[in-house]
Chain A
Amino acid sequence: MGFTTLSSAINFYKNLEDTASRFYEKYARDENYSTMRELFLDLARDNIKQKNIILRTYQEAITDVLEVGSALEGLREEDYRLPKTPSAGSKNKDILEYALILEDCGIRFCFDVSIKIRTLLTDISRSFESAGKRKRERKMRVENALRSLI
Chain B
Amino acid sequence: MVLLEEPIKSQVNLRNYVNGEWVEAETNVWRKIVNPATLKVIGKVPISGIRDLDKAVEAAAEAYPEWRKTPPVTRARYLYRLKNLMEEKFEELSRICVMEHGKVIDEARGETRRAIENVEVASGIPSLMMGYNLEDIAKDIDEYVIRQPLGVFACIAPFNFPLMVPFWFMPYAVATGNTYIIKPSPWTPISQTKIMELIDEVGFPPGVVNMIHGDAEVVNAILKHPRISGVSFVGSTPIGRDIIYKEAASHGKRVQAQCGAKNFIVVMPDTVVDQTVSSIITSFFGSTGQRCLSGANLVIVDEDGYFHKNMLEKIVDSARRIRIGYGLDEATQMGPMQSEDRKKRVVSYIEKGIEEGARLMLDGRDASIIGGYPENCFIGATIFDEVSPDMTIAKDEIFGPVMSVIRSRSLDEAIAMINKSNFGNAAAIFTSNGKMAKKFQYEVECGNIGVNIGIAAPMAFFPFSGMKDSFFGDLHGQGLEAVRFFTESKVVIQRWF
Interface of A with B (CB < 8 Å)?
Answer: 1, 4-8, 11, 59-71, 119-120
Contact = CB atoms under 8 A, between A and B. Distances in A.
Contact of B110 (A11, A63, A120): A63
B318 A70 contact: yes
A132 to B, nearest CB: 22
Interface in B82-115: 90, 104-107, 109-111, 113-114
A70 to B, nearest CB: 5
A71 B278 contact: yes
14 contacts: A5-B105, A59-B90, A61-B113, A62-B113, A63-B110, A64-B110, A65-B110, A65-B282, A65-B293, A66-B106, A66-B107, A67-B282, A69-B106, A70-B281
B331 A64 contact: no
Interface in B285-342: 286-287, 293, 318, 321-323, 330-333
A64 B107 contact: yes
B275 interface: yes
Contacts of A70: 277-278, 281-282, 318, 321-322, 333
Given A65-B282, A120-B278, 15 more contacts: A4-B331, A7-B330, A8-B2, A8-B331, A11-B2, A63-B457, A64-B113, A64-B457, A65-B286, A66-B282, A69-B278, A70-B281, A70-B318, A71-B278, A120-B279
A8 B277 CA distance: 21
A119 B453 CA distance: 11
A139 to B, nearest CB: 28
A61 B2 CA distance: 22
A68 B333 CA distance: 10
Main DSSP-derived SS at the A contact region: loop
A68 B104 CA distance: 13
A66 B318 contact: no
Nearest to B321: A70
A19 to B, nearest CB: 15
B454 A7 contact: no
Nearest to A1: B331
A119 B110 CA distance: 18
A6 B2 contact: no
B153 interface: no
B320 to A, nearest CB: 11
A119 B286 CA distance: 18
Interface in B109-168: 109-111, 113-114, 161, 164
Given A8-B2, A119-B275, A67 B330 contact: no
A59 B455 contact: no
A7 B106 contact: yes
Nearest to B452: A119
B113 A63 contact: yes
A8 B323 CA distance: 13
